[in-house]
Amino acid sequence: DTGTYWIGATLRGALIAAAPFKLEIAPAAAPNITSATVSSSLMRIDAAFDVATDRGAGAGTNVAGVVGCARYLAADTVSDVGSGAECVWANAKTLSIYFGKNATIRPGDFISLSTNVIKSADGNSHAASGSYVVRAPPTPTPPEARLSVPDRVGPCDGVVLDASQSRGGGGRPMEFRYSVVATATDGSAVADALGAAVSAAEVAGGGVTNPVISLESAHLEPGVSYTFTVKVTDFTGGYSTASATVAKSVYPMPISKISSGRTYTATRSHAVTIEGDVQLPSVACDAIKGTEVGDGIDYRWSIVEGPILVEENFQSAHHFELHARTLTTRSLYIPPRTLEPDAVYKWRLRSSLRVNPRAFFSDQIVTVRVSSSPIVPNLLTGDHRTVFADAPLALEVAPEDPDDARDTQGAAFPFTYVWSCKLLETDQIGESCDLPPDKTPGSYHLSEPRVVFPPGALTPGRTYEFSVRVAREPVAGGRKVDVPMRVTVVERTNSTTTNSTTTTTTTNSSLNNAPALRVVGTPTGVWSASRRLNLFAYVDDCPGPDPASCAVAWTCVEGDLAADGALAAAALTGVNRSVLSIDRGALTEGMSYTFRASGVSWGGAANLTADAAVVVNAAPRGGTLEVAAVEDADVRPFADIGVQKFLARAVGFADDPDHYPLTYEFFKKTNVTVDVTDPNSNITTVRDPLGATQTANNIVLILGPGRHEIETRVTDRHGASAVATATVVVAPAPVPSPPPAPPPPMPEFYGRRKLLAGVEADAGDETYYLSNQPPYTRGYNATTAARFFETLVAPSVAIGAHSQIVQAADAYARVFAVEPSGVLPQPAGTDPQTTSNACVDEDPDAFDVATQHARVAAALATARDATPRTNAGVNQLWCASAVLSTDPRLVRAGVGRDLMHALVADARELALSSRDKSRDGPVADPDSGVLRCVTELVSNLLAARVGGCDARFDEISEALAASAVDDVVSAIGVALVPGAVAVTADARHLSLAVAAADPSTGVGFPLVAAINSRGKSAAKVSLDADVTAVGPFNGTRGYNGTRGNSIVSVTHYRVGDGIAPRLAAEAIAPRLVSNYTHVTFAHVANLSETDTARRVVKTATVTLGYDEALRSSDANAGRHPEVRIYDHALALATIAANATDSLGNKLAKYPGWTDRGASSSSVSARTGAEDASADSTYASFESLESSRLMLGVVMVNTNAPPPPQPPPPPSPPP
Q: How far is CA 778 from CA 671, 676, 731, 815, in A?
A: 22, 21, 19, 8
In this structure, of 46-60, 403-417, 732-746, 900-914, the range with the lowest mean pLDDT score is: 732-746
Q: How many whole angstroms separate alpha carbon 1100 and alpha carbon 1106?
A: 19
The radius of gyration computed from the CA coordinates of the chain, to the nearest angstrom, equals 35
pLDDT value at position 754?
26
pLDDT of residue 385: 95
Q: Which helix (H) or strand (E) holds 880?
A: helix 871-884
Contact of 253 with 225, CB cutoff 8 Å: no
Kindly tell me if the per-residue pLDDT of 764 is higher than 60.
Answer: no
Higher pLDDT, 1137 or 252: 252
Q: Is 356 helix (H, G, I), strand (E, B) or coil?
A: coil
Q: Which pLDDT belongs to residue 165? A: 93
Q: What pLDDT sits at residue 615? A: 94
Query: pLDDT value at position 1162?
Result: 67
Q: What are the E-state strand segments in 169-281?
A: 175-182, 212-215, 225-233, 239-248, 255-258, 263-267, 272-279
Least confident of 48-57, 562-571, 726-735, 1163-1172: 1163-1172
Please give the Cα distance from 478 to 501 (Å, whole number). Answer: 56
More confident residue, 535 or 870: 535
pLDDT at 678: 64
What was the pLDDT predicted at 868? 78
> What integer is the mean pLDDT of 939-967?
88
Report which secondary-structure segment, H or E, holds 464: strand 463-471
Least confident of 89-98, 490-499, 675-684: 490-499
pLDDT at residue 79 above 80? Answer: yes
Residue 500 reports pLDDT greater than 60: no
Q: Name the pLDDT band for 735 (thresholds 50, 70, 90).
A: low
The predicted pLDDT at position 824 comes to: 67
Instruction: With both helix axes pointing from N to C terminus, report the angle between 845-865 and 802-816 in degrees, rounded to the nearest 10.
Output: 160
pLDDT mean over 964-987: 90
List of residues 6+ apart from 154 with CB closer than 8 A: 249, 251, 252, 253, 255, 281, 282, 288
Which pLDDT does position 1136 carry in this prediction?
A: 64
| Residue 405 contacts residue 412 (beta carbons within 8 Å) | yes
What pLDDT was estimated at residue 497? 32
Rounded mean pLDDT of 1025-1042?
84
Distance between CA atoms of residues 433 and 466, nearest Å:
9
Average of per-residue pLDDT across 758-776: 34
pTM above 0.85, yes or no: yes
pLDDT band at 508, cuts 50/70/90?
very low
Query: Which sign, positive or negative, has the C-alpha torsion 497, 498, 499, 502?
Result: negative
Across 305-320, average pLDDT: 93
Residue 505 has pLDDT above 60, yes or no: no
How much of the chain exceeds pLDDT 90, in percent?
A: 53
261 touches 164 (CB < 8 A): no
Give residue-wise pLDDT tens across range 1151-1205: 788 888 888 776 554 444 334 556 888 999 998 989 999 998 988 886 554 544 4
Q: Which residues pair with 24 in a beta bridge?
A: 4
Across 6-20, 1111-1125, 1127-1141, least confident range? 1127-1141
Alpha carbon separation from 951 to 113, 554, 792, 904, 960 (Å, rounded): 76, 58, 30, 20, 16
SS3 per residue for 325-354? CCCCCCEEEECCCCCCCCCEEEEEEEEEEC
pLDDT for res 52: 93
Asked if residue 984 lies in contact with residue 991, where contact means CB atoms within 8 angstroms, the answer is yes
Reply yes or no on whether the pLDDT at 1046 is more than 50: yes
**Mean pLDDT value across residues 708-733:** 92
The terminus-to-terminus CA distance of the chain in angstroms comes to 89
| Dist CA 115 CA 129 (whole Å) | 6
Structure confidence by residue, pLDDT tens digits, 670-703: 877 766 656 676 777 888 999 999 999 999 999 9
Q: What is the pLDDT of residue 778?
A: 40
CA distance 686 to 1147: 53
| Short-list 818, 816, 746, 760, CA closest to 788 | 816
The tens digit of pLDDT for each residue in 772-831 reads 333 333 444 688 888 889 988 999 999 999 999 999 999 999 888 877 777 765 444 444
Per-residue pLDDT of 565-599, as tens digits, reads: 999 999 988 899 888 999 888 999 999 999 999 99
pLDDT band at 5 (very low <50, low <70, confident <90, very high): confident
| pLDDT level of residue 747 (50, 70, 90 thresholds) | very low
Higher local confidence (pLDDT), 484 or 1168: 484
Identity (one letter) of the amino acid at 34? T
List the beta bridge partners of residue 11: 14
- Residues 599-616, mean pLDDT to the nearest whole number: 92
Between CA 777 and CA 755 the distance in angstroms is 22
The set of long-range contacts for 1162-1166, using a CB threshold of 8 Å and a minimum separation of 24, is: 1162/1103, 1163/1120, 1163/1122
Q: Which of the four pLDDT bands, split at 50, 70 and 90, describes residue 1127?
A: confident
Is the pLDDT score of 1141 beyond 60? no
- Do residues 28 and 120 make contact, with C-beta atoms less than 8 angstroms apart? yes
Statement: residue 493 has pLDDT above 90: no
Between 366-375, 619-628, 1146-1155, the lowest mean confidence (pLDDT) is in 1146-1155
Measured distance CA(1057)–CA(428) in Å, rounded: 66
- Supply the pLDDT for residue 752: 24
Give 319's pLDDT tier (boundaries 50, 70, 90). Answer: very high
- When the pLDDT of each residue in the chain is averaged and rounded to a whole number, the result is 84
pLDDT at 30 (0 to 100) = 93
